[in-house]
Copies of this chain bind each other. A is one copy, B any other.
Amino acid sequence: MPTAAAALERELLAQIPLARAMALRVVAHAGESLTLAAPLAPNINDKGCAFGGSLASLMTLAGWGVLRLAVAGRDLDCDIYVQDSTIRYLAPVWGELRCQARPATGESCAAFLDTLAARGKARLRVECTVPLPDGGEAATLSARFVALRTDAAAA
């Protein structure tokens, strides 16, 4: 796994206790796409499938991670917040929780970084899906994130 993705996993597990409780893993980071996963056992619900809150948390963290990896290695210290999200739960997940996030259609990390560098604040809409084994979708998230520079250059 690339260094930045491994660092993201360490950061999430170190700083977010719920990510540890979920046993979250960073699976892949390719281009502007990020894949996270978590085992079913710590994320199960009363019906024996994945808890909706775990799916919401995993997809929200995947979206957050897309921005986090975009700024990684650049001279752009910032805090990243989720502003809103819409989630559709389409089918139960009976095994490992896995989701893939990327910038929404028409958005890009490059434009987000340009704005963040120029204005000290930038937004990015991210889409995330939880695939089903047969190729369909178990859940989708569309969420908007904002990054606020915290380094001296932003003052």
Contact = CB atoms under 8 A, between A and B. Distances in A.
A11 interface: yes
B11 A18 contact: no
A84 B86 contact: yes
A94 interface: no
A53 B56 contact: yes
A87 B84 contact: yes
20 contacts: A11-B46, A15-B46, A16-B45, A17-B21, A18-B18, A18-B21, A18-B51, A18-B57, A47-B79, A47-B81, A52-B85, A53-B53, A53-B57, A57-B57, A82-B89, A84-B86, A84-B88, A84-B89, A85-B86, A85-B87
